[in-house]
Structure 1
Amino acid sequence: MIEPIIVVAILLALIAIGAPIFLALGAAGLTGLYMARGSMAFFFGPTSLFAQLNSFELLALPLFVLMGNFLAATPVGKNLFHAAVVWLQWLRGGLAIATVGASAVFGAVSGVSIAGVAAVGSIAVPQMLERGYSRSIAAGAVVSSGALAMLIPPSVPLIIYGAVSNVSVADLFIGGIVPGIALALALSIYLYFRVRLYPEEAPMGEIVHYSWVDRLKAIGGIWHSMLLVFLVLGTIYTGFATPSEAAAFGALGAFIIAVFIFRCLDLKGIAGVLGSSVRISGAILLIMGCARVFGDYLNLVRVPDTITALLVGTDLPPEVILILIMLALVGLGMLVDAVSLIVVTTPILLPLITTLGYDPLWFGIILVMNLEIAVITPPVGLNLYTLKAVAPMLKIEEIVRCVVPFVMVQFVMLLIFVLFPPLSLWLPNLVK
């Protein structure tokens, strides 16, 4: 078993010296294949990469990225936040809770967490600070709720997990609804009780009394967002379209919203969105392909089987093994980006999960819940740096510090769904 240790050491060394993650995965995997099969590695490597990317369901990934980028260029995030404020401003901490609600809905129309942080955070943080909210509440609410886009469908991480594990993306989307809503409610409840205990963190200030006409107008301002949600998810859940086909509907709908409804993109803007989407999608797909090379090497030398046998042979209760896996994933998530973590760990952990008698669909949801913690923890937490970019009045040190209690809330919710699998499987089983 010395060869797998050498291969993993090569991977970690390349990451440590700052090599691109796709290059580290590909080079380590190809080295391992060469040690195991000699010159045949140069046949197995490209074959593995092509096999990973030759998937119809993966078409959904660049299309959902394109949809999210089109929406990020519109005032959709601003309108969602305004609607939430109109309905919740009477409540102490209402602006922070409105941020959670707006981020959850924006996640349902984008699927990309950093897009939600940028779209909602650029509006929510200045408004909260202007009304006397603590910097901790303002930053923590935006960063943590922005991660909801990773779980609430259409979710890019769930698409990636589905491609790696061969679990139905449509089933994963359905399974992500209950945990996504539960996590949004948990964050809102935490904010509510926190500001009740420490009222100075969220002063009430002057309450604007909005009429029902104003509230209905605010809802009317987000009709296009809600229509897009129903268009994308409705066509999937009714069986009218596959996730890839629904993603095409979503991208077209987002294009119409950006260009013809809000008229905020000209030809140069459209070209910029297309270029950005190509770069992001290309980077994700390249990581996935190279990770498949690495994963195929691990499978070739039976590393997943060995790890499964070792852990099952310890006679530890399955719940204890699961909690150890979650802690390991939290630690890895602080060092490795979400896409790489999914494509590297899934082939290793999924055999263990199925051996323990758990559903791969459930594990995909739990894995993505874990990654929600990863994107808000340093040093790789992209949401932290995204908020710093759109809210320069906040220091990165205070953003990191203020997110700690929100991470604890997310970890408690993760443990609940780990220990009670039926909670996340209830809706998919009901739909079936």
Structure 2
Amino acid sequence: MIEPTLVVIVLLALIGAGAPIFLALGTSGLLGLWMARGPIAFFFAPTSFFGQLNSFELIALPLFILMGNLLGATPVGANLFKAAALWLQWLKGGLAISTVGASAVFGAVSGVSVAGVAAVGSIAVPQMLARGYSERLAAGSVASSGALAMLIPPSVPFIIYGAVSGVSVGALFVGGIVPGIALALALSLYIYIRVSLNPEEAPRDTGPKPALSVRIKALGGIWHALLLIFIVLGAIYSGFATPSEAAAFGAAGAFLIAAGIFRVLTLQKTMRILESSVKVSGTILLIIGCARIFGDYLNLVRVPELITEALVSTPLPDWTILVILMLALVVLGMLVDAVSLIVVTTPILLPLIVTMGFDPLWFGIILVMNLEIAVVTPPVGLNLYALRGVCPMLRIETIIRSVLPFVAVQFVVLMIFVLFPQLSLWLPSLL
């Protein structure tokens, strides 16, 4: 185990030195292959890299990212929040609960959590602060609910996990529905209970109740987003289209919404959106390809097998091992970005999960639920910095403190689905 230990040290040293994650993974993996097989490693590494990326399902990745970026340039996120606020005004903490609902729906048309935080947070936080909501409740509800985009299909992390593990992306999309709804309801319930116990955090709106005609008119600003959800997910679940083909429908639909309905696209803005989508997609694909090099080295020297044997041979019950793994993933998520966590840990942990008798589909759902916690925990929680970028009136320290109770709620929901796997598997089993 000396050589694998050295390879891991090199990986951590490169990451600590500030090297891009794909370079750290590729370099350490190539070093390991060279130590194990000599010069032939320079043949193995490119084969692993291109073999990982030679996947039809990965075509969905850049298309869903493009769809999210196109919708992020429109008022869809703001319209979703306004409609939710009008319909949920009667609830205690209604604006914060509206944020959760708007983020859940926006996540279903973008698949990118940062986009949801930017689109919904830019209007939700100022509205809540103007109506007397506490900064912590406003910031926490936006940052945490933005993470729902990672779980509610179409989900970019599910596409990446499917490419790495071989699990059907369509099945993962179906499996993410129940946990996504459960998490949204849990966050909403927490907000309601919190505001009930501390009314000063969210003063009740004493103005006149909006007329029914006004609330119905507000739905007119979101019908196209709901239609896009129906087209994309309906095409996948009905078997009419693969996730990659449905992603193409989604990207085309998002372009029509941005250019034809809202008329917000200029040539310059379109080029910026395409440039951003290419950069993000290229970065993720580089990480996936280089992580395959690292993963193939680990498999070559039997690291996953040895870890599986060591854990299975312990007297600990399966649920205890699972809880330990979940805690480890939460800690890793605080230090490593979501994409890297999927592509690095999946080849190591999936053999253990299968040996213990659990479904790889269930593990993919649980892994992405872990990532939801990762994107709202420092120091790598991207949602925290995205919220700070669109809401400069909030200090980053305030944002970090605000998400901690919401993270606790997310972890409780995570453990429920860890201990009761059938909750996330019953819907895919019906299809």
Superposition TM-score, scaled by structure 1 size: 0.99
User: Contact 1:157–1:339 at 8 Å: present in 2 too?
Assistant: yes
Question: Which residue in 1 is equivalent to 2:308?
Answer: 308
1:122 equivalent to 2:127? Answer: no
Q: Runs of 5+ in structure 1 lacking a partner?
A: none
Question: Which residue in 2 is equivalent to 1:357?
Answer: 357
User: Using the alignment, how far apart are the partners of 1:173 and 1:38 within structure 2?
Assistant: 41
Alignment of 1:10-409 (within 5 A): 10-409=10-409
1:35 Cα shift? 0.2
Equivalent AA in structure 2 for residue 204 of structure 1: R
User: Contact 1:89–1:207 at 8 Å: present in 2 too?
Assistant: no
User: Using the alignment, how far apart are the partners of 2:407 and 2:170 within structure 1?
Assistant: 28
User: Using the alignment, how far apart are the partners of 1:92 and 1:242 within structure 2?
Assistant: 42
Equivalent AA in structure 2 for residue 158 of structure 1: F
Equivalent AA in structure 2 for residue 12 of structure 1: L
1:205 Cα shift? 3.4
1:218 Cα shift? 1.1
User: Contact 1:291–1:340 at 8 Å: present in 2 too?
Assistant: yes
Equivalent AA in structure 2 for residue 21 of structure 1: I
Equivalent AA in structure 1 for residue 31 of structure 2: T
Question: Which residue in 1 is equivalent to 2:5?
Answer: 5
Structure 1 residue runs of 4 or more that deviate by more than 4 Å after TM superposition: none
Segment drifting more, 209-218 vs 370-379? 209-218
Equivalent AA in structure 1 for residue 230 of structure 2: F
Cα distance per residue 1:58-90 (max 9 Å; x no partner): 000000000000000000001000110010112
Equivalent AA in structure 2 for residue 172 of structure 1: L
User: Contact 1:90–1:207 at 8 Å: present in 2 too?
Assistant: no
- SS of aligned partner of 2:417: helix
User: Contact 1:362–1:425 at 8 Å: present in 2 too?
Assistant: yes
- SS of aligned partner of 1:239: coil
User: Using the alignment, how far apart are the partners of 1:326 and 1:166 within structure 2?
Assistant: 22
1:212 Cα shift? 1.6
User: Using the alignment, how far apart are the partners of 1:133 and 1:242 within structure 2?
Assistant: 43
Equivalent AA in structure 1 for residue 11 of structure 2: L
Question: Which residue in 2 is equivalent to 1:415?
Answer: 415
User: Using the alignment, how far apart are the partners of 2:189 and 2:110 within structure 1?
Assistant: 24
User: Using the alignment, how far apart are the partners of 2:56 and 2:373 within structure 1?
Assistant: 29
Equivalent AA in structure 1 for residue 61 of structure 2: L
1:211 Cα shift? 1.6
- SS of aligned partner of 1:344: helix
User: Using the alignment, how far apart are the partners of 1:208 and 1:380 within structure 2?
Assistant: 43
User: Using the alignment, how far apart are the partners of 1:292 and 1:255 within structure 2?
Assistant: 33
Equivalent AA in structure 1 for residue 219 of structure 2: I
User: Using the alignment, how far apart are the partners of 1:70 and 1:315 within structure 2?
Assistant: 52
User: Contact 1:33–1:41 at 8 Å: present in 2 too?
Assistant: yes
1:208 Cα shift? 3.4
1:221 Cα shift? 1.4
- SS of aligned partner of 1:403: helix
Segment drifting more, 210-219 vs 298-307? 210-219
- SS of aligned partner of 2:176: helix
Q: How many aligned positions are there? A: 431
Cα distance per residue 1:291-324 (max 9 Å; x no partner): 0000000000000000000000002100000000
User: Contact 1:11–1:24 at 8 Å: present in 2 too?
Assistant: yes
Cα distance per residue 1:36-69 (max 9 Å; x no partner): 0000110000000001100000000000000000
Please report the RMSD computed on the Cα atoms of aligned residues, expressed in angstroms: 0.5
User: Using the alignment, how far apart are the partners of 1:151 and 1:207 within structure 2?
Assistant: 36
Segment drifting more, 205-214 vs 367-376? 205-214
User: Using the alignment, how far apart are the partners of 1:208 and 1:43 within structure 2?
Assistant: 71
1:206 Cα shift? 2.6
1:123 Cα shift? 0.3
Q: Runs of 5+ in structure 2 lacking a partner?
A: none
User: Using the alignment, how far apart are the partners of 1:87 and 1:46 within structure 2?
Assistant: 54
1:190 Cα shift? 0.1
Cα distance per residue 1:171-199 (max 9 Å; x no partner): 00000000000000000000000000000
User: Using the alignment, how far apart are the partners of 2:206 and 2:124 within structure 1?
Assistant: 17
1:326 Cα shift? 0.3
User: Using the alignment, how far apart are the partners of 2:217 and 2:210 within structure 1?
Assistant: 11
User: Contact 2:187–2:406 at 8 Å: present in 1 too?
Assistant: yes
User: Contact 1:183–1:410 at 8 Å: present in 2 too?
Assistant: yes
User: Using the alignment, how far apart are the partners of 1:185 and 1:109 within structure 2?
Assistant: 19
1:215 Cα shift? 1.5
Equivalent AA in structure 2 for residue 170 of structure 1: G
User: Contact 2:30–2:293 at 8 Å: present in 1 too?
Assistant: yes
1:162 Cα shift? 0.3
Cα distance per residue 1:271-307 (max 9 Å; x no partner): 1110000000000000000000000000000000000
User: Using the alignment, how far apart are the partners of 2:207 and 2:177 within structure 1?
Assistant: 33
Cα distance per residue 1:183-235 (max 9 Å; x no partner): 00000000000000000000013333112211111112100000000010000
Superposition TM-score, scaled by structure 2 size: 1.00
User: Contact 1:89–1:95 at 8 Å: present in 2 too?
Assistant: yes
